[in-house]
Structure 1
Amino acid sequence: MADKKISDLGLLAVADATDLVPLVDVSGSVTKKTTVGGLAAAVIANIPNASIPSSKLSLGAQSSKVVTGQATSSTSYTDLTTVGPAVTVTISANGMALVFLNATMFSAQTSMGFAISGATTVAADDVNCILINTVTSRLSGAFLVTGLNAGSTTFTAKYKVGSGTGTFVDRVISVIPL
């Protein structure tokens, strides 16, 4: 292989971290070898701060908002007249997403959670919700969701009250697949 140019070598479609890569060491003007993993680590370590434009960092984040105020008297998680808001994202193999909820809520014991459907199905619950015990509040919450299946997954806001009727305004759900 010493008599072949690198451009004449066959193409490796998928490289493993331990595969070898030729590299010219400019400090000694000599060709050496490194691994794909070693090269990747060196590239990451040598990227100057703030040199990658934000457009190149898109993780497929999605956000949706429903402005209309609507009410429910359901004591279990349910949809309002205008369902959602809801977003659909693609979950990667690591099975994680960061979910943000935000709403203005009126009435004591009022909750906003979310259900998951698609590649993974999970009902809304009191673990991943924002809750008020006062009369009126603007609340936000962030939830790391793990154990999701890879693939297209929809996150839909759901609502409930402890008693009486609760009203929800300016409802927002945002999801960042990780």
Structure 2
Amino acid sequence: MDDLAYAVAMAAANAAAATPTGSSDLAHIQGEILSWDEASGVNSVLVNGAAVSNLKVIQSGIGLQYSKGDTVMVERRMTQWYIVGKIGAPGGSNVNQIKSAEVSTTETTGSTTYTDLATFGPQLTINIGSSRRCLLMTGVRINCAGTASNAYIGGTATVNVSGASDIPVVGSVSAAMLAQTTPIVGFASNHNRNFVLTAANGLNPGANTFTMQYKSSLANPTCSFAERYIIVIPF
């Protein structure tokens, strides 16, 4: 038997020896994700040096996702294998959390580029795991009034992501009205939008800080912003 064949045979023997074969036996073993198909859940897991294919998965969370290299707990009950979930150290990026932040104060800006308001934020920092995905929910109340000639007056809010990621602008939440030559009585409205951020957007694992910023379409008249919030749900 050559060296490669011997190594493969020993790995298979080690995996088999570490798990029970009896009809009522149970074992828990640490494994490592070798591959995971996001669409189908087809998988391969390294267990005691041997690759085990297409383990069943115990569902958890709002969108199950594993990535190559993730450390997982594997359970074997009789002849059936299961992926129980990820193993992560306290404070690590494997931690799943839901965070929100809100600022109710009304503030005004005449900036036509994204900026902070006098009352900063809202802002929150949250750990993104190896899936590199999250649901971002944003909302704001926008108030605009004034006089302009055949121009849209309005305001826009956005979220930037810093820290482990560098995403300057995530979508936008906006409101606008065409201002004719006569004064506008004014408008105020609540707006919210939801975004799914992924690796394709540049979202990286680790501590990510989400911050809301604002701008007006015109330097004058300006718009004010209130009841601002951010919710982030990694999955």
Establish whether TM, by shorter chain, passes 0.5: yes
1:59-138 superposed matches below 5 A: 59-107=96-144, 108-124=153-169, 128-134=171-177, 135-138=187-190
Which residue does the alignment assign to 2:211? 156
Which residue does the alignment assign to 1:139? 191
- Number of matched pairs: 146
Unaligned runs of 5+ in 1: 25-32, 44-57
Deviation at 1:13, TM superposition (A): 2.9
Runs of 4+ in 1 over 6 A off after TM superposition: 1-5
Match of 1:93, SS state, is coil
Over residues 22-64 of structure 1, what are the superposed CA-to-partner deviations in whole Å (9 max), with x where a residue is unaligned?
544xxxxxxxx23x3xx34xx8xxxxxxxxxxxxxx9411111
Deviation at 1:95, TM superposition (A): 1.1
Residue type matched to 2:213 in 1?
K
Q: Note if contact 1:124-1:158 (Cα within 8 Å) is conserved in structure 2.
A: no
Which residue does the alignment assign to 1:176? 233
RMSD between aligned alpha carbons?
A: 3.0
Give me the TM-score of the superposition, normalised by structure 2. 0.55
Q: Does 1:13 align with 2:30?
A: yes
Deviation at 1:146, TM superposition (A): 1.5
Counterpart CA distance in 2 for 1:175 and 1:84 is 14
Change (3 A) 1:5 1:11: closer
Change (3 A) 1:77 1:62: same
Counterpart CA distance in 2 for 1:11 and 1:62 is 32
Give me the TM-score of the superposition, normalised by structure 1. 0.71
Q: Note if contact 1:73-1:166 (Cα within 8 Å) is conserved in structure 2.
A: yes
Give the number of the structure whose alpha-carbon radius of gyration is greater: 2
Higher strand share: 2
Counterpart CA distance in 2 for 1:89 and 1:144 is 15
Deviation at 1:11, TM superposition (A): 7.5
Counterpart CA distance in 2 for 1:88 and 1:139 is 23
Counterpart CA distance in 2 for 1:76 and 1:110 is 11
Which residue does the alignment assign to 1:27? none
Residue type matched to 1:84 in 2?
G
Percent identity of paired positions between Structure 1 and Structure 2: 27
Deviation at 1:136, TM superposition (A): 1.3
- Greater relative CO, 1 or 2 (CA 8 Å, sep 6+): 1
Residue type matched to 1:161 in 2?
S
